[in-house]
A and B are shown apart, each in its own frame.
Chain A
Amino acid sequence: MTERPYWIAAGTVGWGAIVLIKAAYLPQFDQYAHVGPGLMPTVVGAGLVLLGLLLALQIRRGIPFNAQGAEDVNDAHVVSRPALALAIAACALPVLAMQPLGFVLTCTGCFVLVAAAFKSHAWVKNAVIGLVVSLVCWWLFRKLGVQLGGLLPIMGV
């Protein structure tokens, strides 16, 4: 069965359309430099729409989409949805948790979730390792001058 991921083409056209519409609000040309702020967005948006349509055409003809190779990937490319969901959760967590909980707790959570996505279910052990790694990172990079915020912002620390 050939996979027909029309949604990618639709997404490309959609993003192109957003860029085009936004560009339409800006002046296309300019008295002095002749290239107005809207011209490049118009070109890029139009390009995206065109490319999305071309991709849709290719998909209709049934071009293959072969997943890229990577290290540590099983040869059959079997997809584990629970693992993917855990990894996605790990990447979404910082958006919600970083401000209230701070760097150390958020990273500990991410650490446990990613480890679980890679089939390590020793929750307590992973949480401890994650906490130590995050604490060391937080302390070390603060020393190096990187601003990573407070230890526990919700408590005002």
Chain B
Amino acid sequence: MTGLLQGFAVALQPQNLMWCFVGTLLGTAVGVLPGIGPALTIALLLPVTVYLDPTAAFIIFAGIFYGAMYGGSTTSILLNTPGESGAMMTALEGNKMAQNGRGAAALATAAIGSFVAGTIGTLLLSFLAPPIAELAFIFKPQDYFALMILAFLSVSVVMGTSKVRGFISLFIGLSFGLVGIDKATGLQRLTFGIPDLLDGVEMTVVLVSLFAIGETLYVASRFGLHKPNLNPLAGGVRMTKEDWKRSWKPWLRGTFFGFPIGALPAGGAEIPTFLSYTVERKLSNHPEEFGHGAIEGVAGPEAANNASAAGVLVPLLTLGLPTSATAAILLAAFQNYGLQPGPMLFINSGDLVWGLIASLYIGNLMLLILNLPLVGLWVRLLFIPRPYLYAGILTFSLVGIWGASNSVVDLAMMFGVGLMGYMMRVYDFPIAPVLIGLILGPMSEVQLRRALAISQGDPMALISTPFSALLMAIAFMIVAVPAVVHWHRTRKIEPMDPTQG
């Protein structure tokens, strides 16, 4: 508790308030703009923020993280273009509401729901993070290793439509993570004799290439503009009494789906938003409205989406375990500052962690103020001519990549990985597992080595603690159960129709 108060003391300093404002402003903007998201923005800001105090940098990042969520709901409601998977359910009902002239009410319930969920989520984070971080003290290397294996498997299985493609993404990320000098032995791995690769593959380069370059190539090849032709403020700015009555329960329910699922290693916003949508449809007194603009279908998923964002911060801050692309780049940012998330972070950098958490409360409030009355202003961002928008994104990407190390090898990698990002979009490979593999791969190798060094090479040591055994069992089931189910199903209806897949 004292920690949190101390955090508010840090976050309320005028300078940090300003950074929080900058972050939320940037976050909302990138959430509204197509082609650029929170992970990419943080990656591009990394070289700049190296010169800032870490607390200030993380306050900006936190603002971007939460702000993008608000901005994303604006575009999915008004344009039916969910920028990220978490906003898909919002688009379903929200866009219908906008078409019926209730866009303003949809935006309001989304913004207030996000605020409620974000605040409750941040509250849960403040109370849960310290005890979980304590837990990390008694974690042994095998527990960490098991946790990472679980994260690998669940990220690959959950994200995307195909498990094989999810795993290919993960393994490509793992192979990138191998590049460079092996820390334990000093031997070079996969460097192909290129000196620039001795330090390994930069997270920023891979992330920027996959997101910015891949997206630019993809959109350029299939360009077609959805004109925003809706008046966002039609039908009045306010929510009616009826709207409030129908919204508040979905907000709370969405929060309690979003936070715990976001905190799990499998994480993600897809499952909680989908769950929330389904539950609201079941519980609603107006089930016939679903599919035609039911306000519950906006309020619930939007709250779940924001709560899961707060949930993602729990494993990141307490165990150093990222479960989304944005969390992966945040972890890279911590490493850039020589900080290791986990229990020591709460002790050694209390000001930073609690300042960050406190600024999440403040940021949420700022976002509510920024978004409710000013939504008409944000929508104008959508009118930026696309040729300049995407050309600008490439320019900023070059600042990020060239500015980081002035290396032509990095530029060549940007080109190669960017082409890969294009192909991954065309053939539907999930992108986040690449980043998770890249950042967690080397960390898991360290833990594996530690565990085996302590046990003098006995592989059974990897499941020797109850926690690691449990996690490994769950990890095994994540892969085995769907495979067995699939096998049973295909056996029943054999022979399989070769025209179907």
Q: Which residues of A contact B (CB under 8 A)?
A: 2, 5, 8, 12, 15-16, 19, 22-23, 26-27, 30, 32-37, 40-41, 44-45, 47-48, 51-52, 54-55, 58, 61-81, 83-84, 86-88, 90-92, 94-95, 98-99, 103, 106-107, 110-112, 114-120, 126, 129-130, 133-134, 137, 141, 144-149
> Is the pair B406, A147 in contact by a Cβ cutoff of 8 Å?
yes
Which of B171, B174, B184 has the most chain A CB atoms closer than 10 A to its own CB? B171
Which of B240-248, B367-375, B417-425 lies on the face that meets chain A? B417-425
Number of residues of chain B lying within 8 A (CB) of chain A: 82
* B387 interface neighbour in A48, A84, A120, Cβ under 8 Å: A120
> Is the pair A41, B387 in contact by a Cβ cutoff of 8 Å?
no
A148 to B218, CA, bound (A): 27
Does B223 belong to the interface (CB within 8 Å)? yes
A99 to B43, CA, bound (A): 23
> Is the pair B171, A118 in contact by a Cβ cutoff of 8 Å?
no
Could you mark each residue 443-483 of chain B with 1 if its beta carbon is under 8 Å from any beta carbon of chain A, else 0?
Answer: 00100111011001100000000000000000000000000
What 4 A-B pairs have minimum CB-CB distances, sorted nearest first? Answer: A74-B224, A71-B34, A120-B387, A84-B221
Can you show 14 pairs from A to B with CB atoms below 8 A apart?
A8-B423, A12-B172, A32-B453, A36-B185, A37-B185, A54-B164, A55-B164, A79-B222, A84-B221, A118-B391, A134-B395, A137-B399, A144-B48, A144-B51
Which of A23, A115, A133 has the most chain B CB atoms closer than 10 A to its own CB? A115
Residues of B within 8 A of A48 (CB): 168, 171-172, 175
> Is the pair B171, A71 in contact by a Cβ cutoff of 8 Å?
no
Nearest residue (CB) in A for B181 is A37
Which of A64, A69, A106, A114 has the most chain B CB atoms closer than 10 A to its own CB? A114
Does B195 belong to the interface (CB within 8 Å)? no
> Is the pair A88, B398 in contact by a Cβ cutoff of 8 Å?
no
Within 8 A of A (CB), among B132-175: 161-162, 164-165, 167-168, 171-172, 174-175
Does B414 belong to the interface (CB within 8 Å)? yes
> Is the pair A33, B452 in contact by a Cβ cutoff of 8 Å?
yes
* A19 interface neighbour in B162, B178, B498, Cβ under 8 Å: B178
**A interface, over-half SS:** helix
Distance between A18 CB and nearest chain B CB, rounded to angstroms? 8
Nearest residue (CB) in B for A149 is B406
Nearest residue (CB) in A for B431 is A68
Residues of A within 8 A of B408 (CB): 95, 98-99
Residues of B within 8 A of A34 (CB): 449, 452-453, 456-457
Does B5 belong to the interface (CB within 8 Å)? no
**B interface, over-half SS:** helix
> Is the pair A115, B496 in contact by a Cβ cutoff of 8 Å?
no
> Is the pair B171, A47 in contact by a Cβ cutoff of 8 Å?
yes
Which of B209-217, B264-272, B279-287 lies on the face that meets chain A? B209-217
Distance between B400 CB and nearest chain A CB, rounded to angstroms? 9
Distance between B406 CB and nearest chain A CB, rounded to angstroms? 6
Distance between A34 CB and nearest chain B CB, rounded to angstroms? 4
Q: Quick one: given A95-B415, A114-B387, are A63 and B162 in contact (CB under 8 Å)?
A: yes
Q: Quick one: given A12-B168, A48-B171, A75-B224, are A137 and B395 in contact (CB under 8 Å)?
A: yes
> Is the pair B178, A118 in contact by a Cβ cutoff of 8 Å?
no
Nearest residue (CB) in A for B173 is A44
Residues of A within 8 A of B51 (CB): 144-145
> Is the pair B219, A73 in contact by a Cβ cutoff of 8 Å?
yes
Distance between B213 CB and nearest chain A CB, rounded to angstroms? 5
Within 8 A of A (CB), among B196-218: 213, 215-218
> Is the pair A44, B415 in contact by a Cβ cutoff of 8 Å?
no
> Is the pair B391, A130 in contact by a Cβ cutoff of 8 Å?
yes
Could you mark each residue 332-343 of chain B with 1 if its beta carbon is under 8 Å from any beta carbon of chain A, else 0?
Answer: 000000000000
A86 to B184, CA, bound (A): 44
> Is the pair B427, A94 in contact by a Cβ cutoff of 8 Å?
no
> Is the pair B390, A118 in contact by a Cβ cutoff of 8 Å?
yes
Does B484 belong to the interface (CB within 8 Å)? no
> Is the pair A73, B501 in contact by a Cβ cutoff of 8 Å?
no
Does B485 belong to the interface (CB within 8 Å)? no
A62 to B498, CA, bound (A): 7
Which of B161, B167, B426 has the most chain A CB atoms closer than 10 A to its own CB? B426
> Is the pair B172, A70 in contact by a Cβ cutoff of 8 Å?
no
Q: A71-B35, A76-B224, A148-B403 are in contact. List 11 more A-B contacts (CB 8 A).
A: A47-B167, A52-B168, A62-B501, A70-B219, A72-B81, A74-B224, A87-B220, A115-B387, A115-B391, A133-B391, A149-B402
Residues of B within 8 A of A65 (CB): 426-428
> Is the pair A41, B221 in contact by a Cβ cutoff of 8 Å?
no
* B428 interface neighbour in A23, A61, A66, A118, Cβ under 8 Å: A66
> Is the pair B215, A141 in contact by a Cβ cutoff of 8 Å?
no
> Is the pair B426, A44 in contact by a Cβ cutoff of 8 Å?
no
> Is the pair B449, A91 in contact by a Cβ cutoff of 8 Å?
no
Residues of B within 8 A of A5 (CB): 427
